A and B are shown apart, each in its own frame.
Chain A
Amino acid sequence: MKKLIILVFCLAFVSFAANAQKFITKTGHIKFYSEGSLEKIEAHNHQVNAGLDAASGDFVFKVLMKSFEFEKALMQEHFNENYVESDKFPNALFTGKVTNIKDVNIAKNGVYDAMVEGKLTLHGVTQNAKTKGSFEVKSDKITGSAKFSILLSDYNIKIPGAVANNISKSVEITVEVNLEKLK
């Protein structure tokens, strides 16, 4: 019986400890940028939700598509209505892992490389995604940064024939999230 009590206590402690290592943000920043022969497209989203479990390395993102802001209001409307179809697919999701989380010491300030791997869901299509980024640890705060490219065709985002030559088929995504320790 004693053993059981100890075990339960340990487990409770472990789960408590795990909870204490969760970092989240609601105001992460994602920029996307593409440069075609005619159209340069840039958009910013400052309402990115992201969460990192620094113990397990689980790393998730939830991005409201309608929160992307464009240089031209019309571009934003086209983006939501014609390209990513935000009413049908309101969010982009990423669920994955920091595969080298062991190397990131959240107790010590510094910059660490991060290998992130997981599944990215965009426009209702889920694809495997993998990128190298970095974590900057600074007293209970972790800033995650990464830059990667995706192909629009992988996510079934169609570019109409009339503008196909003007718009780039790949998009560069820059992610910056200031994760704060969950209280």
Chain B
Amino acid sequence: MKKSIQLSVLIFLAMISIRANAQDDMMNLLNQEAKPVIDYTSATFKATRVVVGHSCEIPGTGDLLFIFSHHFGAINTGYDNLFGLKQAQVRLGLEYGATKWLGFGVGLNTLQNTWDGFLNFKVLRQSKGARRMPFTLTILGSTSIYTTKWADPTRKNYFTSRMSYATQVILARKFGQRFSLQIMPTYVHVNLVPTPEDHNNIFSVGAGARFKISQRVAINAEYYYLIPKQIRSTPATSALSVGVDIETGGHVFQIFLTNAMGENTESLITQTTGKWQNGDIFLGFNISRIFTVVKPKEFRKKK
């Protein structure tokens, strides 16, 4: 009998201790019941450009992005040219995020009056939680058409000669909060090249990185290694760009140094001739502004 009283006291005490932790119990119950969610990584890169070239990002769904890109002239042109401030290559661009995985855009470049258009598909999104995916994979397809007058109007010229295409596979990963890296093998096809020695199919391998130094400032760098001996008639070289991202609300401001004069992917890969060691580099900036065109459902009902 004594034993049984002891036992019942014990059980009673156990029950009390369970009662005391009831809130934790409820929390555990919630954790058991909660369905696992996919935790997608956001802001691998802050802008749709690492510096000059594309990042793995596309605009948010329903967002229209206006990008104004500006590269000054070469710094090594000296004071007479105000270190390049007297010249400019400009690109005006619009980009739109149609879905979480599809974006597209158009741009007008002052370099050879080039129009460019592109589609980007975010095939994989880095995530953890219910689905683990170590990378974000974006595939970019773009076309550029230069529209300056024909160099030799006397011969037969074809419209297709103005065109070149780029295909880029962008494999990106955000490592922790501060550091992101992407690798982008790129293939460019140029329909008409200046000499028979020049290849029509140009291959390049790029790498881009972002390092966040504060909540709103990051340092970005990007390098496109141009596989040698593909372009013979011009001193085409690899493009190296280093810049700072500053974000202020709906704007991202990118200021950078680059040896690339062109702003569209095709020019960036095939028409970069400046050499960093010669000071043949350009100061440049991108300013982007986001306009929300289509709001999420919840916000659409009103008004």
Contacts and interface: CB of A to CB of B under 8 A. Distances in A.
Given A11-B12, A66-B39, A72 B292 contact: yes
Interface string B241-260: 00000001110000000000
Given A3-B8, A67-B37, A73 B61 contact: yes
Interface string A1-29: 10110011001001100000010101000
B154 interface: no
A133 B34 CA distance: 24
Given A60-B26, A73-B60, A74-B63, A81 B1 contact: no
Contacts of A64: 37
B43 interface: yes
Given A49-B33, A74-B60, A95 B8 contact: no
Interface in B19-57: 19, 22-27, 29-31, 33-35, 37, 39-40, 42-43
Contacts of A77: 42-43, 60
Contact of B11 (A8, A50, A88): A8
A122 to B, nearest CB: 15
B15 interface: yes
A69 interface: yes
A25 B74 CA distance: 62
A15 B22 contact: no
A51 B177 CA distance: 32
Nearest to A158: B215
A56 interface: yes
A18 to B, nearest CB: 8
A4 B8 contact: yes
B27 A7 contact: no
Interface residues of B, number: 45
A1 B4 CA distance: 6
Given A71-B292, A82-B215, A88-B177, A60 B27 contact: yes
Contact of A26 (B22, B33, B250): B33
Contact of B30 (A4, A50, A162): A50
Interface stretch (B140-148, B163-171, B263-271, B293-301): B293-301
A182 B18 CA distance: 19
Contacts of B215: 81-82, 160
A113 interface: no
Interface in B166-189: 177
Contacts of B248: 162-163
Nearest to B29: A51
Contact of B22 (A7, A58, A78, A182): A58
A90 interface: yes
A8 B15 CA distance: 11
Given A11-B11, A73-B97, A77-B43, A96 B23 contact: yes
B35 A26 contact: yes
B22 A53 contact: yes
Nearest to B290: A74
Contacts of B232: none
Contacts of B1: 1
Contacts of B249: 78, 163
A103 interface: no
B213 interface: no
Contacts of A15: 15, 18
Interface of A: 1, 3-4, 7-8, 11, 14-15, 22, 24, 26, 42, 44, 47, 49-53, 56, 58-60, 62, 64, 66-67, 69-74, 76-78, 80-82, 87-88, 90, 93, 95-97, 118, 160, 162-163, 182
Given A73-B62, A81-B43, 7 more contacts: A60-B23, A60-B27, A62-B30, A62-B34, A69-B296, A73-B292, A90-B39
Nearest first, the 10 A-B pairs at minimum CB distance are: A73-B60, A4-B4, A60-B26, A71-B299, A51-B26, A95-B23, A72-B292, A49-B34, A49-B30, A7-B8
26 contacts: A3-B8, A4-B7, A7-B12, A8-B11, A11-B11, A15-B18, A49-B34, A51-B27, A51-B30, A58-B22, A60-B23, A62-B31, A62-B34, A66-B39, A67-B37, A70-B296, A72-B290, A76-B42, A76-B60, A80-B42, A81-B43, A82-B215, A93-B27, A96-B23, A163-B249, A182-B29
